[in-house]
A and B are shown apart, each in its own frame.
Chain A
Amino acid sequence: GAGVSQSPSNKVTEKGKDVELRCDPISGHTALYWYRQSLGQGLEFLIYFQGNSAPDKSGLPSDRFSAERTGGSVSTLTIQRTQQEDSAVYLCASSFWSGGTGELFFGEGSRLTVL
Chain B
Amino acid sequence: QQPVQSPQAVILREGEDAVINCSSSKALYSVHWYRQKHGEAPVFLMILLKGGEQKGHDKISASFNEKKQQSSLYLTASQLSYSGTYFCGTGQSNSGNTPLVFGKGTRLSVIA
Contact = CB atoms under 8 A, between A and B. Distances in A.
Interface in A61-101: 91, 98-101
A48 B42 CA distance: 17
Interface secondary structure of B, over-half rule: loop
Contacts, number: 83
B41 A33 contact: no
B108 to A, nearest CB: 14
A109 B40 CA distance: 9
B101 A99 contact: no
A100 B30 CA distance: 7
Interface in B50-82: none
B87 A43 contact: yes
B95 A99 contact: yes
Contacts of A56: 97-99
B102 A43 contact: yes
Given A42-B87, A43-B87, A45-B99, A101 B104 contact: no
A1 to B, nearest CB: 14
Interface of B: 2, 29-30, 32, 34, 40-44, 47, 49, 87, 89-105
